[in-house]
Structure formats: C-alpha cells, structure tokens
Homo-oligomer: A and B are copies of this chain.
Amino acid sequence: MGTRAERTRERLLAAAMELFAERGYDATSAGQIAARAGVTEMTFFRHFPSKASLLVEDPYDPVIGAAIRRQSPDLDPITRTARGVREAWRELPPPAVDEVRVRLRIVAQTPTLRASMAGGTAATEAVIVDALTSDGVGRFEATIAAAAVMGALNTALLEWSLTADDDLGGAIDTALDILSDRRG
C-alpha cells in the first residue's frame, strides 16, 4: 500500500479530481481539497508545491531526452526533437493516456492553468536543449527548437484532450508534421 505519505498524497489527488469535476478548478480551494482528504491545508502544500502541480506534473522528461539522443544527428534540430517527442509519447500505456486526457481537459478549460502549463515545460525544454547540444547543436538554435516544439506539442495536447479522439499518437504526429514536413 505504500508508505503513509504516499497514501495521503493519493487521497489528496483523488479529492482534488472529484472537486474539480464538481465545481471546477478555480472554484475549489486548497483548503477544500485538504478537508475532503481528511487533512489540513498545510499538509496539502507539503505534498504538492502548488495547486497547479496537481495537474501539470510531467514525469516524462528523461524519456524524452533519451528518445532525442537516439535520433540521427544528420537531421535538423527541429526534426530530431519532433521525432524524439513522438517516440516518447508512443511509449505511454493506454491507461496513462486516459489519465492524461482527464487532466488536460481541465487545463484546457482554465486559462490560468494554460499559463502554468507553459511555465511547467521549462524543465522539459532544458532536457531537450541538453540532448541537442550534446550532439553539437548550438545552444541558441537548440533553445529555439525546444521552445517551438514544446509550444506546438502543448497546444496539440490541449486540443486533443477536448476531442473524442482516442489516437493521441496520431494527434501528435499531425501537429509535429506541421513543424517538420517529413514523416518520422
């Protein structure tokens, strides 16, 4: 069952998702989430650094970095990054995809969260820049490529989350094809 802290964390997350579904993100306070989880507001912030972090965590950064490093260095940085991102997302098992959609749907409908999502990709962009520069790409070029791909990817994810489409990989492919026209 995991340690006590892990169980509390799970209860907080479950309570938050319930409340978000009932009254929306903005209308539910951290204190309410904590109360439903049978815990104090303080405890909530000990498990989650912010209210937004309930929804915009992305634990896939290492996978993305590795996938980019696997791409041929002959490709231009944007294509390499785009292909790496595609492969990384393809490794997600179906249940995780469903969970991602539930969360992204809330983010898509909450303007302030869209902003924090963009902010939350800073770490991912750093990973991409590292992967690209380790293969000789200039830092400025790598930074621009990372920002462009993440901008396109985030937007594609948000749009996809609002559709009934099940094919996440297809949506990502379509979006990244707009950036680099070759099929990967």
A residues with CB within 8 A of B: 77-78, 111-112, 114-116, 118-120, 122, 140-141, 143-152, 154-156, 159, 174-175, 178-179
Contact = CB atoms under 8 A, between A and B. Distances in A.
A122 B155 CA distance: 11
Given A144-B175, A144-B179, A148-B178, 19 more contacts: A77-B178, A111-B119, A115-B116, A115-B119, A115-B120, A118-B119, A140-B159, A140-B174, A141-B178, A143-B155, A143-B159, A144-B156, A146-B155, A147-B151, A147-B154, A147-B155, A148-B148, A148-B149, A148-B152
Copies in the complex: 2
Contacts of A154: 147
Nearest to A175: B144
17 contacts: A77-B178, A112-B119, A114-B119, A115-B115, A115-B119, A115-B120, A140-B175, A143-B159, A144-B175, A146-B155, A147-B152, A148-B149, A148-B151, A148-B152, A148-B178, A150-B151, A179-B179
Contacts of A141: 178
A109 B147 CA distance: 17
Nearest to A121: B118
A164 to B, nearest CB: 15
Contacts of A143: 155, 159
A21 to B, nearest CB: 24
B119 A179 contact: no
A47 B149 CA distance: 36
A115 to B, nearest CB: 3
B119 A178 contact: no
